[in-house]
Amino acid sequence: MSNRPKVAFYWCASCGGCEEAVVDLAEVLLDVAAAVEIVLWPVALDFKRHDVEAMPDGSIDLTFLNGAIRTTEQEEMAVLLRRKSKLLVAFGACAQLGGIPGLANLWDRRSIFDAVYADAPSTVNPEGVRPETEFREKGRAVELPGFYDDVKTLAQVVDVDYLVPGCPPTPALLASAVEALLNDHPPPRGSVLAPDRALCEDCPRRESKPETLLVAEFRRPHLTMIEEEKCLLSQGLLCLGMATRAGCGAACIRGNMPCSGCFGPTSRVKDHGAKALSAVTSLIDSGNQEEIDRILATIPDPVGSFYRYGLPASLLRRKRLET
Amino acid sequence: MSEHKSDIRTGVYVCHCGTNIASVVDVREAARHAASLPGVEISREYKYLCSEPGQALIRQDILERGLNRIVVAACSPHLHEETFRTAAAAAQLNPFHVQMINIREHNSWVHEDKARASRKAEKLIRAAVRRVAHHKPLERVRVPINPAVLVVGGGIAGIHAALTVANAGRQVYLVEREPSIGGHMAMFDKTFPTLDCAACILTPKMSAVKAHPNIKLWTHSDVTDVQGYVGNYRVKVTRWPRMVREELCSGCLECVAACVFKEAKVPDEFNFGLSKRKPIYIPFPQAVPQVPLIDMENCIQFRTGKCKKACAQACGDRKAIDFQQGEEIKEVDVGTIIVATGSKTFDAERAAYYGYGTYPNVYTSLEIERLVNACGPTAGRVVLRNGETPKSVAIIHCVGSRDENTNRWCSRVCCMYSLKLAHLLKEHTGAEVFNFYIDMRTPGKGFEEFYQKLLNEGVHFVRGRVAEVTEWALDQSEEGKLVLRVEDTLLGLVRRIPVDMVVLSVGMEPHADASEVRRLFNITCSSEGFFLERHPKLAPVNTFTDGIFLAGSCQGPKDIPDTVAQAGAAAAEALALIGAGYMEQEPNAAYVVEDHCSGCGACSALCPYSAITLDAGARRSSIHPVLCKGCGTCVAACPSGAIRQNLFEDEQIFEEITGVLTHG
Amino acid sequence: MQALTLRKMKFQREALPQWVEQISDIPGCERVYSCIQCGTCSGTCPLSIYMDFTPRRVIALVREGFRTEALTCQTIWLCASCYACTAHCPQNVHITEVMYSLKREAIRHRMYPPRFPIPVLAQEFYKSVRRRGRNSEFWLVLRMALRSNPFLLLKMIGTGWRLLRTGRLSLKREKIERIQEIQKEFAAPREAIS
Amino acid sequence: MAEDKFEPRIVAFFCNWCTYLAADLAGVSRLKYAPNLCVIRVMCSGRVDPQFILDALAKGADGVLIGGCHPGDCHYQEGNYKALRRFRLLQRMLEDLGIERQRVRLEWISAAEGSRVRSVVNSMTEDLRALGPLRWNSRQASPAGAVEAQ
Amino acid sequence: MKADDSGLAARGYLYYPGCSLRATGVAYEESLLTLFRLLGLPLRELEDWNCCGATSYMSIDEGAAALLSARVLSLARQQGAEDLLAPCSACYLALRKTQDSVHRYPRVQQEVEESLARAGLTLLNSTRIRHPLEVLYTDVGLPAIHTKTVRRWRGGQVACYYGCQLVRPYEGVDKAQNPTRMEELLQQVGVPVVDYALKTKCCGGSLTGTLSEVGLRLNYILLKEAARKGAEAIVTVCPLCQFNLDAYQRDIRQQSGERFDIPILYFTQVLGWALGGGVRELGLHRAVSGRNLIKRWFQAHEPVEAYV
């Protein structure tokens, strides 16, 4: 057997974009592939759960797990891989913060099932079939994973050694992560493998930002002629760059779109959305309540705007469950 | 960064405050609970922690048990935080490793359920213990104190404060809204209880102000802007034009004599219209400065532009009269400010049932002060509007005081000045004088004796609040008189008493613009609208804004002795700061952790003191430690958690939240 | 002229503090405790000069819990509820309301002089309205007089005649149509009256 | 500590210059009010970071009360306005997360309004009693929400 | 607001006479209806109204008094009134007081609502309780009164007397201290008024009947002071005041030994006359005292143009 470090990739509740990021390593991928031995990668190669179970504990040097935890099966795999791996990396926004799937925390299992298996206009389900965790026919039993009320981050179910932010993480970030983690002096455990400053730091438009920035109205990208080169916030666009960790190279801004916060907060911030909200509202140019409310009304969906990627990782984690 | 958990050695001290706390909160249990908390080395309860032995106890524990954190559960930090910080410092512990929590004002005094109050105390202690672990050693910032002092208001309070400071060799700027200093006291004839002549004791002080090399006197002026902070205030004073140039005027008053108005026609403000003045005038003979002014409503020159300007001619080549004079803005830097803006008297027309404004012979006490005044409108002759001498006078106390429908408070001076007026009126007219009082309040040196004197002068004292004053006559004896209907509560009988003259002893109330003035100086008002002192007993002339002090009746109704005493105290406070040369500021400023800042600038717009500067090049913000007043608004706003605040670090507050919410 | 030997002294055992609390609990009577005994009420009251205790003293009796004096004095019956005292009171004591509550209690416990016309009038008024929904002045006065002091009628004849002549004395007994509504309203158990 | 009847837990952030003093005044005047709130002192209502509010709710507070100076009276000129701006949006967001308006209140209470402290605390306590417990920490976002069972 | 303002006319007022205006105070009702007719303001009578509860009622059972007023308020709302016109001071006060305590004391509100419910009624506490004086002053307005005047005043000086319960404790109609609206209205039609210090002193209400010595004395004082001020008549706003001052002048003479024969008018009579009402339709013939003077003052004479 080779003594190349054993690396695993696994996905839970995710869109596959993070897998794309791996593939996007392109020729770099070949070097990586050469440098490491990939022992698990369901997207690309066929592995079964028992293959993993067969591995001795701690035999995987490095596991990149992307996607959030939403089913029992995903939680079991997370636990299993944790046991098998020396280092477990939460890879991408979903694993780190809950990601887009995390917005499901605005509902609960029942309402989601109602929507999917009954209410959705596209649903044809005369028998009103619902997913069941156990299904027996002719004495044979099939088990399906259980479905949680909550979407959780990886760190909410197992200990995580490192986190790589991004939706998806940039190939560059992945490459540097692999390199950083496999060399002799890895960064302190628990660190997020990206700069610990806000995106404004790297923003190509920062010079255009006015000395004191005040906003009298928030505008939505698809309804706005967005000026190139000009600070997006100063154009009234809800850009979360000032509250969001740098490391993406300001990709969205270069694409003339405001930052929506997929890299999550800096290490000092407990709740990305709350801080973003606090900062954004500080820019409102009014002292009178009606005026303030008028301006705030131009932010259509606070939760969706400030917690787009991080609801499960936020202090409240979800919408209140009816008790 | 706070030390590693294991190095935290906290001492918790629970105060009984006699029975103030102990009678409601189970202090023993609280201390026992504290002992069980992580990092707590020792916890004690003690009768009076603020007492010397109490502090000694803490100092001793620090030294002997190597405590490095102190939690004191007692009264409001506004009261004793300083005490315990000093105690800690005396034992070589950084004073800011002390956290105080309030289980008296916020707990034992406001809760009745002892069990729950005790549990609440434990929660608060838990919170403080967790918090204090994250405290860091801090240094106080020293702010230099500009030795110049601004005194606002030229009544007896302002005059005395100004002179005291000036005599200590410090520069004073004295600003008075009216054309002359002197305030209400200048209107009085005599002062109680000694009956010495007000003018004789006030006038010398007024001229002293004018003459004093260290006092810059600006009358007919308003403070229109105040910027800065303790030790370094920048003040704008607007000097309204009096149309007579102060620096050129010799005070000869030829202009007044020469005015084309041969006899005075304009109601005289200083005498409440009891006499008339000319359009160019000085408010009263002893006015300081002795400089006339022109009132533009009535001056022909200003109304028609066609006056032969006799005044200007009379002034001759001094050319003091200047019809073009405009307002003038003075800007001065001072270190401390004494607010002595005084109060006004209650508007008697609000008490319609006493007929002031309806019946000509109903007067306010201030009008009577002028009538009995030797240099008043009648040269001291007390006469009714029709020129006759009153044979009977009624003095009604508590008009606009102790009344839910107008002002609820006791104005403190009315009883005594009513006695004084009773004496003077009797002396001047020999009239039969009735005093109508609810309670006779004579708490002061020589006051009760004065009351005795009046009793023996045969003045009537009827205990009862007059219900109404009317001209309604039941029979001949009442025809043409003002008739009072009142219950003599001591006789338990209702009486009708006809008199020639009624005097309303009006109370004191805040100036109409008190709330604007308060905002100007960033100080607080009590619910009545008087300015609020920092502490009613321990800091009676301080405000919640450092370097701004209160004197006189702007802080509450006061007589002359108390006013002067308070003015002296305010001056002393100002001089104390100046003497020290600097003031130590609470080290609660916000600061930017450079490496964490991305220069997003979210903070810049927030700072009311423009203490935040964004270095665009370096892409970092920074905060000026002295300009920052420590409100923490920018801290709450900083989206990347790069701004922190001493004494109110995020961790510290999160720990408090956890503390008050964890069960047990 | 009272006997020279009449002994006047209030013993604290006669005071009923809990009664004061009951009174102060009645809507409008909250502020009895705030009275500063200034006498404005008595001074402004047009009837105080006929009262045995001035209104101020009645409030004092109430504050001190001397129930018997407060309920048996004539003052409460002389009060014509003109609200002058209430409007003038510097402490916002609603004296008129206090008087009302004392009258009510006095009537409930029959603590007024027998055949004393004022409470009688009140009761007759009350009855007729309960029965008919309106009151008819003529019949009201008639019954009042009969029940208290028939001689009153003699006094009234003159006036009565003049009113009759000017068509101001209606002998009609007014009644509303849906009297049952009022009776239903009063269905709930209330403290019994007369 | 188990309570027979539900007693809401209120975390309060009072500004040092107005509301904290008002609470001191309430004490000095011996006004009695519900012992349901614990006050955390901040220099200005502007210091109240929305994170504090969320953290308190997440850790089991049934309500959060923020006390500041009246508009125009802020010791720091307009910190209370900044607080207001944050608060208005936060309140909307909390409603979207199923947290009723009455649970998070911003009140202007000047140093002279001791009695207002009493009335606000009492009324808020009543409101929360009516609303019932929030108990975010125990019920919400439980480590593993139960599995669908038919 | 002008009287002929269609909106006002259209809205109209629901009118609650109260017991007195159907007996001793009938002249008040007559003159009121006439005056409003002349102003073009329809008055609709509250159907099946009941007694307001009034003064002597409250001294038995305040709760019950409240219930009576509550029924009136409830009917008023049912019958679609925003404004309920209560000319009698006692009624006015009783209704205001009920409204006030329902709104101020939850327990009162509860009792009232429950009791009404038993009678199948609901309390809608939003009805505005109005007095003619206030309506004329604020809704109609002085100018309107002035322009609608068709008769010059031939009479002498009068004293305006408000009595007690209309201005106290609620200040809705006029200020409690020295009210002046009646004077202002009368001056619009050229009636000279004297300054009358006792304008809000109490007439003793029902005391004239129960403790006549006292009641008469109070009214004696009122008459005497008015006369002393040179008033030849007293103008009132309340049926009870009018009754006491008018009906007892002979008894007062017996008691005081001073003779009075002073007309006691309703302000609605004086205004109604100025606007062209007739003697009988204003109930002027119902006066007990000062009948001769009334005859002299109120005789038809040359119309309008002469005036203004």
Give C187's pLDDT tier (boundaries 50, 70, 90).
confident
The DSSP letter of residue E173 is S
Q: Which of B128-132, B207-211, C127-131, E163-167 has the lowest mean pLDDT?
A: C127-131
Give the pLDDT of residue E10.
52
> Given this model, what pLDDT does residue D1 score?
43
Distances (CA, A) of A152 to A68, A97, A182, E60, E221: 6, 8, 28, 70, 89
Interface test with B, best of A199, A275, A285 (most B CBs within 10 A): A275
Summarised one tens digit per residue, pLDDT across range B11-44 is 999 999 999 999 999 999 999 999 999 999 999 9
Q: Name beta bridge partners: B498.
A: B483
Among A70-84, B601-615, D5-19, which is the least confidently predicted range? B601-615
User: E48 vs C104: CB contact, 8 Å cut-off?
Assistant: no
Asked whether this complex has an ipTM greater than 0.90, the answer is no
Cβ(A271)–Cβ(B640) under 8 Å?
no
pLDDT average, residue stretch D115-123? 95
Which residues on adjacent β-strands are paired with residue B621?
B614
Does position B478 have pLDDT exceeding 80, yes or no? yes
Q: What is the pLDDT of residues D14-68, one digit of tens each?
A: 999 999 999 999 999 999 999 999 999 999 999 999 999 999 999 999 999 999 9
What pLDDT sits at residue E56?
59
Distance between C170 CA and the closest CA of chain E, angstroms: 5
Distance CA B463, CA B440 (A): 9
Q: What is the pLDDT of residue D5?
A: 82
Residue E182, pLDDT score: 97
- Residue-wise pLDDT for B356-412, tens only, equals 999 999 999 999 999 999 889 999 999 999 999 999 999 999 999 999 999 999 999
- C-alpha to C-alpha distance for A311 and A303, rounded to whole angstroms: 8
Residues of B with a Cβ under 8 Å from any E Cβ are: 352-353, 358, 470-474
Does the pLDDT value for residue B4 go beyond 70?
no
User: Which of B116, B124, B633 minimises the CB distance to D46?
Assistant: B633
Res E307: pLDDT: 43
CA B508 – CA C182 distance, rounded (Å): 54
pLDDT of residue B503: 98
CA distance C177 to D82: 64
Residue A220 CA to residue B356 CA, distance in Å, equals: 66
CB contact under 8 A, D51 and A156: no
Which of residues 35 through 94 in chain A touch D, CB cutoff 8 A?
72, 75
Query: Mean pLDDT over residues D68-73, rounded?
Result: 86
Q: What's the rounded Cα separation, in Å, for the pair B257 and B607?
A: 57
Please report the pLDDT score of residue E32 as a whole number: 96
Is residue E57's pLDDT more than 70? Answer: no
Q: Helix, strand, coil: what percent of chain D each, to 5? A: 45, 15, 40
Listed range (A163-167, B516-520, E61-65) with the worst mean pLDDT: E61-65
Nearest CA in chain E to C133: E50
Question: Tens digits of per-residue pLDDT, B495-553?
Answer: 999 999 999 999 999 999 998 999 899 888 888 899 999 888 889 999 988 999 999 99
Residue A189 vs residue E106, higher pLDDT: A189
- Asked if E291 is an interface residue toward chain C (Cβ–Cβ < 8 A), one would say no
Query: What residues of B are in contact with residue D43 (Cβ under 8 Å)?
Result: 588, 630-632, 648
φ and ψ at B456, to 5 degrees? -75, -15
* Chains with 3 or more CB pairs under 8 A to chain D: A, B
- B487 contacts on C by Cβ (under 8 Å): 39-43, 48, 54, 56
Q: pLDDT category, B432, cuts 50, 70, 90?
A: very high
Question: What does pLDDT average to over chain B?
Answer: 94
Residue-wise pLDDT tens digits, A2-21: 678 899 999 999 999 998 88
List the end-to-end C-alpha distance of chain D, in Å, as a whole number.
Answer: 36
Check pLDDT > 60 for residue B575.
Answer: yes
For E123-145, how does the pLDDT look when each residue is reduced to its tens digit (9 = 90+)?
Answer: 767 789 999 999 999 999 999 99
Window 356-395 of B, Cβ < 8 Å to C: none
Q: Which residues numbered 111-130 in E keep a CB inside 8 Å of some CB on C?
A: 111, 114-116, 118-121
Q: Of B572-581, C96-105, D66-75, E273-282, which gets the smallest average pLDDT?
A: D66-75
- pLDDT at residue A323, as a whole number: 60
Confidence of residue C116 (pLDDT cuts 50, 70, 90): confident
CA–CA dist A264, A194 (Å, integer):
11
CA A313, A314, A317 angle in degrees (round to 5)? 85
pLDDT tier at C94 (50, 70, 90 boundaries)?
very high
Q: What is the pLDDT of residues C166-182, one digit of tens each?
A: 888 888 888 888 888 88
Buried b (16+ CB within 10 A) or exposed e, B112-148: eeeebbbbbbbbbbbbbbbbbbbbeebeebebebbbb
- Per the CB < 8 Å rule, is A306 touching D93? yes
Q: What is the mean pLDDT of residues E272-290?
A: 94
Amino acid D140: pLDDT: 47
pLDDT tens by residue, E76-128:
988 887 889 999 999 999 999 999 988 888 888 888 888 888 888 887 677 89
Contact E115, E153 (CB under 8 A): no
pTM: 0.82
Q: Which amino acid is at B267?
A: P
Contacting B residues, span 96-155, partner chain D, CB-CB under 8 Å = 102, 104-107, 109-113, 116-117, 119-120, 123-124, 127
Q: Is the pLDDT assigned to residue D81 strictly greater than 70?
A: yes
Nearest residue, CB atoms, B464 vs list C38, C89, C91: C38
Mean predicted lDDT score pLDDT of chain A: 91
C143 vs chain E: nearest CA distance in angstroms? Answer: 12
The per-residue pLDDT for B278 is 95
pLDDT tens-digit map of A71-120: 999 999 999 999 999 999 999 999 999 999 999 999 999 999 999 999 99
Q: What is the pLDDT of residues B234-256, one digit of tens each?
A: 999 999 999 999 999 999 999 99
Q: CB of D76 within 8 Å of any CB in chain A?
A: no
Task: Name the nearest CA neighbour of C89 among C33, C36, C40.
Answer: C40
Amino acid B226: pLDDT: 94
Kindly tell me if the per-residue pLDDT of E302 is higher than 80.
Answer: no
Give me the total of CB pairs closer than 8 Å, taking one residue from chain B and one from chain E: 12
The strand pair at D63-68 and E13-15 is best described as: unpaired
Give pLDDT, residue B61: 97
- C-chain CB neighbours of E67 within 8 Å are 182, 185-186
Strand partners, E233: E158
- d(CA C107, nearest CA chain B) in Å: 26
Mutate to test the interface with E, among C185, C190, C191, C194 (most CBs of E within 10 A): C185
Is residue A170 scored above 70 in pLDDT? yes
Q: Could you tell me if B473 and B483 are in contact, meaning their C-beta atoms sit under 8 angstroms apart?
A: yes
Mutation site for A-interface testing, chosen from B594, B600, B653 by largest number of A Cβ within 10 Å? B600
Q: Is the pLDDT of residue C190 over 70?
A: no
| CB atoms B654 and D73 under 8 Å | no
